[in-house]
Structure 1
């Protein structure tokens, strides 16, 4: 296929998701049954974001134009992609970059998210037979020309061992933080609550730690977080909440409880599900400078950085870990 044909096919996929016909509804329901963390609200949120922010003809044309992607790839490579499964369709961007640059791919899906993407790929093959054979799903990835792998710090060491002799992008554990100054509006706090709680806080772009000035008043934020009390209706989330709360009580740790979210002081940027860490700062400029060099930080949310409420709304050029996947694939 030519680049324009690939763009047209992806735009058709965006329309398919937007139209939300019975077939797509059944696939989303099956994905939710298989993984209880994938509730309908979050599957719809993730897939709709893809259709509107990624899968439209003007957006795709402008994106590929900026990289000078040729109409045809005369020497396509086989790219091995290891996908995470923490939130619905989290690996779609890697698939999209590889498909749009004209390479073939072998994908190892996470068992937590192995329903949605295979269906979408099957639709592409149904609409254009030329797409058949461009994507294969495999349990092990061998014989690839390059690799893009996402996982934990432990799996990252495994990836580095096996993939180091090939061109690669290897991503490890990351999370996001917010820097507050105490002057946030009610709307800012509502949007910050989204950054914390969407997808149950499981994404690397979810805010898991707050940096606040001394004498910060947590009450407005705690009141705002109450809108997510309904998360306790989901047994997996409630189990985590009860467990984390019990640990804090048994260890005699100071905490604040919004009802479904526990806020506690902790130096780690990573917090468990249902818990948010905080730390006081005295010099905001020095703090922001230190966060720039922290490899554990995916996003910094706040008035001087990513706007509140935007952490889970990445654009096509918001590449994970700041590594330009399109440039990597184009240069293979």
Structure 2
């Protein structure tokens, strides 16, 4: 297959994801039953984000400078399942670069990845020999694995001798200056609540200027209150609230989100941690020192940082060049493709 054939196939897949095909409605119904975290709205949002990238212009611009090759190598891909189709970008990179993909989906995947791969094969039958969804990886040449800090140690032990990308836990941060408009703060709600805060691009901590009035933030995100109707989210909210009350931990509560002062980056579900700062330059330095644990930063402030930065509301809509953990998967693949 040529690079153009691969691009054309993914463009057609993007068109399909933007369509009102009845198969997509059935997919969403089934996914929400198999995995209650995969609500119809969340899956639709992810499909919209993916399809927005699958245009001729986006794909062609992304691939500028990369050779048109077909590689006789297989990449094992171990996918996470914390949010719908979280590993699609890895699959796209592998296939668009001309490699074969051997895919191990998460038990939480709810059939979404298999559905999209079958649709891609229907669009371009030549992909049938490039895509293999398996229960157990074997005979691969490179590995891309995403999981927790614990599973990453397992991945390193078993796969470390192969060329690899192994990802661990990361979290995302918001930096407020106190000058944000109500609309900008409302946008921050999407960074926090999309996918119930389960993604590595979900904001788990907010950096606030000293003396910031939390009530201003709570008022701006009030429209996200319907999240409290989701039973699994609410179970987490109730549990964490009870723990804070029993322990006497100071926290703020608006009825669907708990905000607690804490130095840690990773907060429990339905909780956002915060820290106050007095100097923007100092907090920027602290962010840089923690960069290896931060997936992205959302802010309206103008600061210099190596951390991928988005405006408030922008963390959950990555572009093709927004690689997880800042590791360019295409470059990794091409480096090894040119060696064979």
TM-score scaled by structure 1?
0.96
Q: For residues 270 and 107 of structure 2, what CA distance do their matches in structure 1 show? A: 23
Following the alignment from structure 1 to structure 2, what is the Cα–Cα distance between the partners of residues 32 and 242?
22
Q: 2:295 aligns with which of 289, 295, 298?
A: 298
Question: Structure 2: how far apart are the matches of 1:124 and 1:69?
Answer: 22
CA distance in structure 1 between the partners assigned to 2:16 and 2:314 by the alignment:
25
Q: Distance in 2 between matches of 1:94 and 1:61?
A: 17
Which string of whole-angstrom CA distances, capped at 9 and with x for unpartnered residues, describes residues 266-287 of structure 1?
Answer: 1111011111000111222122
CA shift for structure 1 position 255: 1.0
Following TM superposition, the consecutive aligned residue runs of length 4 or more in structure 1 with deviations greater than 2 angstroms are none
In the TM superposition, what is the alpha-carbon distance from 1:114 to its structure 2 partner? 4.0
Partner of 2:45: 45
1:224 match:
220
Structure 1: give runs of 5+ residues left out of the alignment: none
Does the Cα contact within 8 Å between 1:98 and 1:105 map onto a contact in 2?
yes
3-state secondary structure, aligned to 1:230: helix
CA contact (8 A) 2:13 2:123 kept: no
Q: Deviations over 1:241-287 (max 9, x none)?
A: 10010001000011111220011111111011111000111222122
- Is the aligned partner of 1:185 residue 2:181? yes
User: Which shows bigger deviation, 31-40 or 224-233?
Assistant: 224-233
Matching residue within 266, 272, 278 for 2:268:
272
Contact 2:42 2:194 in 1 (8 A): yes
In structure 2, the partner of 1:17 is: 17
CA distances 1:109-140 after superposition (whole Å, capped 9, x unpaired) = 01111411111111121222211121111122
SS of 2:221's equivalent? Answer: helix
Q: Matched residues in 2 for 1:317 and 1:293: separation? A: 23
1:167 and 2:163 are equivalent in the alignment: yes
Give the equivalent residue in structure 1 for 2:3.
3
Which residue of 1 is the match for residue 114 of structure 2?
118
Q: After the TM superposition, which of the residue ranges 228-237 and 150-159 deviates more from structure 2?
A: 228-237
TM-score of the two chains, using structure 2 as the length reference: 0.94
Q: How does 1:178-217 map to 2 (within 5 A)?
A: 178-217=174-213
Could you say what secondary structure the match of 2:316 adopts?
A: coil
The alignment status of 1:69 with 2:73, answered yes or no, reads: no
Partner Cα distance (1:68, 1:76) in 2: 17
User: In the alignment, is residue 157 of structure 1 matched against residue 181 of structure 2?
Assistant: no
Runs of at least 5 residues in structure 2 that lack an aligned partner in the other structure: 303-308
Return the alpha-carbon distance in structure 2 between the equivalents of residues 313 and 242 of structure 1: 29
Distance 2:43 2:274 in 1: 29
- Bigger shift: residues 291-300 or 171-180: 291-300
Indicate yes or no: 2:279 matched with 1:283.
Answer: yes
* Cα distance in 1, alignment partners of residues 283 and 137 from structure 2: 41
Give the paired residue count.
328
Which of 85, 88, 97 aligns to 1:92? It is 88
Equivalent residues of 1:77, 1:103 under 8 A apart: yes
Instruction: Answer whether contact 2:34 2:110 (CA < 8 A) is retained.
Output: no
Partner of 2:30: 30
Contact kept in structure 2, 1:175 and 1:269, CA below 8 Å: yes
SS in 2 for 1:148: strand
Q: Is the 8 A contact 1:108 1:140 kept in 2?
A: yes
Q: Deviations over 1:90-114 (max 9, x none)?
A: 0000000001000001111011114
Map of 1:236 onto structure 2: 232
Cα RMSD (Å): 1.1
2: distance between equivalents of 1:322 and 1:316?
12
- 2: CA distance between counterparts of 1:290 and 1:174? 16
